Amino acid sequence: MKPLWTLIKLYVNSIFRFQVMRYSKDGRERRNAIMSLAAIVLIVVVYGGMSGVLTAQMLSAGVDASIPFLLVGTMGSLFALAMAFAQGSATLSDFADFDTLMGMPIKTSTIVLARFAAMYLAEMVYSVAYVLPCGVVYAVMRHPVWWFYPTFMLLFLLLPVAPVVLGSGADLLLSVAFAKSKYKKGVTSTIKMIVLMAFIIFAYLLPQISESFLSAPQRTASRIARIYPPVQWFASGASGSFPLSALFIAASAAVCVLFLLLLNKTFLPLHDRLTAGYHVKDYRLGALKSSGTLKALFTIERKRFFSSTAWVINTIIGAVLIVVFGVVGVALSKTLIPVLNAASMTGIAPTVITGILILCATISPTTACAISMEGKQSWITKTLPVPAKDWLNAKLLMNLLLVGPALLIAITLLSIAYRSMLNAVDVLGIVLMPIAAMLFTTVFGLYVNAAMPRLDWETDTEVVKQSGAVLILVLVGLGLTAASVLPALLSGLRWLTPVIAAAVLAASGVTYGYLMKNAEQIRGKL
């Protein structure tokens, strides 16, 4: 048992970076780790508050006690499923330490169990946010019998098991299917992005879903039960049904045991399959192409970006949301324009359009972790005989070319579709403000990442999802959206938006000038 607990602690410490916070002598690394943990705590608090409020509303409305558990159980299961699918293969089949572990007197089954346990604990953190507040509110408002508490805790602990198994299993199958494909990264990244986008859309629709639970609870519950019966077993068991509690517990334990047995049996073949890679047949060396410094560096940056599934999924969401918002906005324009005119709300339409575009364009710039993604290969960058300015400009271009075209398309479509509600000042604000916000977060993201790079990562997920620079840019994007929208929205002065855009453009220019002036020092400090 000791090797198992040791491995679990190592994997959990790697995910949440507890050892870095406790023992690292690098103050910057400790701050990054603390901010990453703070981001997780923030997510738990926000979703926990939402879950508690929805549960209280439903119980106050007199709905059956199983309905709130069904709603939060569904959300918790979907979150665990989406996250496990996004990073299952990276956790379960990460063979970076394979040779070291297999050379130790440790059983393969111990390694498999430790990795699964670490992934389960990581997903359990988010499940706490959805399910635990629901149980607390239910206990306070309904005062259940004493055996509710141990039963609920057992059901709560087992709720993420089946989704984690399904999500990580699907991710492993996807990785195995495209292991020897030339387009492995592109295909798997696209599929994972689609799954995460579906979950994000579902999360945005949570208020509407909760309203359907309140208006027609039994009908909505029966639909969910047909799609995923275990969540109905969980909800009924948590609200007092002992037979369904036993069924859920037995089914979750059986799924977990079968998955671990299968993974243990196929662990070594998985290693062979996933590390084989793609090899071009009948390779012939043809003409070698040359290009300018900036183009060559941008090509390297583009390949590094698309080779990281986590980086692609985390940053391309903004561009996708921009296109979705533009297309949906145009499709609904004929319906929305008469409604807004009748409600005398035409004045806020430009501000709302601008705010949504800003939020999507600044949600996660690639530059927030572009320097950190070089990792242990940063010494190559410092030895390249190329100007440091071109090195930084290549990273800036990556985000601009990723988000810029989508933003221009959405701006054009929305400006044309809602032209009857817009004057010249409105159009100027819709054009300038999102572009200015995108430029600012692009250059400021690189500035922040240069100030607090993280180069000692083991997996790219640590940089993309857990670094302090990424968290800062998320907060900056939210703050910039509020600062751009609220003054015009509260005062009703439409000309404020172009003025704010000019100020943001000026700040972008100052930040860019600082980066170019200190480019060599920034590269030298890596």
Rounded CA-CA distance 319/176 in Å is: 29
Does residue 154 surpass a pLDDT of 80?
yes
DSSP one-letter string for 257-320: HHHHHHHHHHHHHHHHHHTT----TT----PPP---HHHHHHHHHHHHHHT-HHHHHHHHHHHH
Percent of the chain surpassing pLDDT 70: 85
Does residue 399 surpass a pLDDT of 60?
yes
Q: What is the pLDDT of residue 444?
A: 93
| Tens-digit pLDDT profile for residues 54-91 | 888 878 877 777 888 888 888 888 888 887 887 765 66
Rounded CA-CA distance 152/65 in Å is: 13
Average pLDDT on 80-106 reads 68
Does residue 417 surpass a pLDDT of 80?
yes
3-state SS string for 105-153: CCCHHHHHHHHHHHHHHHHHHHHHHHHHHHHHHHHHHHCCCCCHHHHHH
Does residue 402 surpass a pLDDT of 70?
yes
Residue with tokens 């709603």: 71
Contact status, residue 168 vs residue 92, Cβ threshold 8 Å: yes
| Tens-digit pLDDT profile for residues 211-236 | 655 666 667 677 777 778 888 888 88
Length of the chain: 526
| Tens-digit pLDDT profile for residues 178-222 | 777 766 666 777 777 777 666 666 665 555 565 655 666 667 677
Q: What is the pLDDT of residue 345?
A: 66
| Tens-digit pLDDT profile for residues 4-61 | 778 877 777 777 777 777 777 767 677 777 877 787 788 778 778 878 888 888 788 7
Average pLDDT on 492-521 reads 88
Query: pLDDT tier at 349 (50, 70, 90 boundaries)?
Result: confident
Q: What is the pLDDT of residue 114?
A: 83
Residue with tokens 């071009």: 280
Rounded CA-CA distance 362/478 in Å is: 8
Does residue 508 surpass a pLDDT of 80?
yes
DSSP state of 348: T
Closest C-alpha among 32, 86, 131 to residue 469 = 32
| Tens-digit pLDDT profile for residues 442-457 | 999 999 988 888 877 7
Q: What is the pLDDT of residue 18?
A: 75
Report how far apart, in Å, the C-alpha atoms of 80 and of each of 123, 134, 196, 474 are.
6, 17, 11, 22
Average pLDDT on 91-117 reads 72
Sequence spans of domains, the chain = 2-274, 293-524
**What rounded mean pLDDT belongs to the chain?**
80
Rounded CA-CA distance 304/523 in Å is: 18
Q: What is the pLDDT of residue 250?
A: 92
Average pLDDT on 353-362 reads 88
Closest C-alpha among 161, 181, 170, 1 to residue 87 = 170
Quote the distance between the C-alpha of residue 256 and its chain's center. 26
Query: pLDDT tier at 502 (50, 70, 90 boundaries)?
Result: very high
Q: What is the pLDDT of residue 101?
A: 65
Kindly state the tokens that stand for 364.
């996660």
Does residue 270 surpass a pLDDT of 70?
yes
Q: What is the pLDDT of residue 203?
A: 61
Q: What is the pLDDT of residue 281?
A: 52
Q: What is the pLDDT of residue 425?
A: 86
Q: For residues 97 and 159, which has the higher predicted lDDT (pLDDT)?
A: 159
Average pLDDT on 258-266 reads 87
Q: What is the pLDDT of residue 512?
A: 93
| Tens-digit pLDDT profile for residues 271-329 | 777 766 544 555 555 555 556 778 888 888 888 888 787 788 778 888 888 888 888 88
